[in-house]
């Protein structure tokens, strides 16, 4: 069970000036706590020092120390040739990154939020994702696109969309979404070492949260396999799948459900594409009920794909229809109370799990 230290999370994390924690010091004590921000920073630092072909590109990654301070200290360490502040030209600099990757460099392109990746999506899909296929394996694109994804706090419709299902539907891309510091470190290091284009979806509200990490995680060769989900909490009554911030909500929901005698199994997807269908199906075959949780829009979302996969492979094992929890089917409103209703909350997950277990509450309570 993870003990999550709650920190005061500001709508934007500009004011958090955290000292860059050096994770190369060895510790004899047990669980050390690091924030997701420190985890990402240390992962970038280590990969850049290990391989001179790795470089960073994006808006405000250098002198501003990163719009969310993820790249803090890297400009001083590696210089302006390897940490590039770009003008506001997403299409342009994404294309430049892809071109560099064609020739063997390993760019890490930062989008200030993934909403801005829409200005560059032609390069992500057509130039990066499809190249290996179109060239019959001659050109591989070892590029990483990273940045915050999904809803923040009060930032309006154009800054709050979740792009997991958009990118995950495209063959040729790997799509990862970490939850805690261990995920952040391991998956980012794996992504940078990977020879294929990776879309790395972080979450702005998780940057400041601390999680305990073992010494193994802090080691510089640590990385997590791509395409494998993690069972964060074992259970026997209902399976709850989630990724990114929703994993935290699902874990809290599981604690609440435990009091009612419902033992939920929480799966942290980690990898949206390739999706770990075998872990999900094995879990559903054990519990016989499934609740999928995501922050994005419901139609054609990640939950829809998981539901289809389970129905195809484990239909006989299902004892109840699959429950899908997703964001409201509207652009994100600005008013605080409407925004709270537009994003899944812990109560929604609890209610859905109870429905899956007892079918006593009518389906889909409308707003």
Partner 1 sequence: MATAFSAAKFTAQPFPLNPASTTSHDSSIVFAKPTSLFLGSTRKLRLTSYSKFNLSRRSGTVDAVSDVVKQKKSKSSPSLLITKEEGLELYEDLVLGRAFEDMCAQMYYRGKMFGFVHLYNGQEAVSTGFIKLLKQQDSVVSTYRDHVHALSKGVPARAVMSELFGKTTGCCRGQGGSMHMFSREHNVLGGFAFIGEGIPVATGAAFTSKYKREVLKEADCDHVTLAFFGDGTCNNGQFFECLNMAALWKLPIVFVVENNLWAIGMSHLRATSDPHIYKKGPAFGMPGIHVDGMDVLKVREVAKEAIGRARRGEGPTLVECETYRFRGHSLADPDELRDPAEKAHYAARDPITALKKYLIENSLASEAELKTIEKKIDEVVEDAVEFADESPVPARSQLLENVFADPKGFGIGPDGRYRCEDPKFTEGTAHV
- Residues marked as catalytic: 90, 159
Give the interface segment with partner 1, choosing from 155-163, 169-177, 208-216, 220-228 (CB under 8 A): 155-163
Tell me phi and psi for residue 225, to 5 degrees.
-65, 145
Yes or no: say if 253 and 353 are a contact pair by the CB < 8 Å rule. yes
Our separate counts of H helices and E strands in the chain read: 13, 14
- 110-139: which residues touch partner 1 (CB under 8 A)? 115-116, 119
Please tell me the distance from the alpha carbon of residue 304 to that of residue 201, in angstroms, as a whole number.
Answer: 19
Yes or no: say if 280 and 309 are a contact pair by the CB < 8 Å rule. yes
Return the number of the residue (149 or 239) whose C-beta is nearest partner 1. 149
- Cβ 101 to partner 1, closest distance in Å? 21
- Cβ 306 to partner 1, closest distance in Å? 25
- 251-270: which residues touch partner 1 (CB under 8 A)? none
Reduced to 3 states (helix: H, G, I; strand: E, B; else coil), residue 228 is coil
Tell me phi and psi for residue 176, to 5 degrees.
-120, 150
> Which DSSP category does 128 fall into?
I
Q: How many CB atoms lie within 10 A of CB 144?
A: 28
Query: Per-residue x/- mask for partner 1, residues 78 to 97, rule CB under 8 A?
Result: -------xxxxx-xx-----
Return the number of the residue (235 or 296) whose C-beta is nearest partner 1. 296
Burial of 201 (0-12, 13-18, 19+ CB in 10 A): buried
158 binds partner 1 (CB under 8 A): yes
- Cβ 184 to partner 1, closest distance in Å? 22
- Cβ 35 to partner 1, closest distance in Å? 18
Return the number of the residue (204 or 209) whose C-beta is nearest partner 1. 204
Site of interaction with partner 1 (CB under 8 A) = 10-12, 14-15, 59-60, 63-64, 67, 85-89, 91-92, 115-116, 119, 152-159, 328-331, 333-338, 341-342, 367
């Amino acid at each position: 069970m993870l003990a999550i230290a709650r920190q005061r999370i500001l709508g934007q994390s500009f004011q958090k000036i955290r000292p860059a924690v050096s994770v190369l010091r060895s510790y004899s004590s047990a669980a050390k706590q690091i924030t997701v921000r420190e985890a990402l920073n240390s992962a970038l630092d280590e990969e850049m020092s290990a391989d001179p072909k790795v470089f960073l590109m994006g808006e405000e990654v250098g002198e501003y120390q990163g719009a969310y301070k993820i790249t803090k200290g890297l400009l001083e360490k590696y210089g302006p040739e390897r940490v590039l502040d770009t003008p506001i030209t997403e299409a342009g600099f994404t294309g430049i990154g892809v071109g560099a990757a064609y020739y063997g460099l390993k760019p890490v392109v930062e989008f200030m939020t993934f909403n801005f990746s829409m200005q560059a999506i032609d390069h992500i899909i057509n130039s990066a994702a499809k190249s290996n296929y179109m060239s019959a394996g001659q050109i591989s694109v070892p590029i990483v696109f990273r940045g915050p994804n999904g809803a923040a706090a009060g930032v309006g419709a154009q800054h709050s969309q979740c792009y997991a299902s958009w990118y995950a539907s495209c063959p040729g891309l790997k799509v990862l979404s970490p939850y805690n510091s261990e995920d952040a470190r391991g998956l980012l290091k794996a992504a940078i070492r990977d020879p294929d284009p990776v879309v790395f979806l972080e979450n702005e509200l998780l940057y400041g949260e601390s999680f305990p990490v073992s010494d193994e995680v802090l080691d510089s060769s640590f990385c997590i396999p791509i395409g494998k989900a993690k069972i964060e909490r074992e259970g026997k009554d209902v399976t709850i799948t989630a990724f990114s911030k929703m994993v935290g909500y699902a874990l809290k929901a599981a604690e609440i459900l435990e009091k009612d005698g419902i033992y939920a199994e929480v799966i942290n997807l980690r990898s949206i594409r390739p999706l770990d269908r075998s872990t999900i199906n094995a879990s559903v075959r054990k519990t016989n009920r499934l609740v999928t949780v995501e922050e994005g829009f419901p139609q054609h979302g990640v939950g829809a794909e998981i539901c289809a996969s389970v129905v195809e492979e484990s239909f006989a094992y299902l004892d109840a229809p699959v429950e899908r929890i997703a964001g409201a089917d509207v652009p994100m409103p600005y008013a605080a109370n409407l925004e709270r209703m537009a994003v899944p909350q812990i109560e929604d997950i609890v209610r859905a799990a109870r429905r899956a277990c007892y079918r006593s509450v009518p389906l889909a309570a409308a707003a």
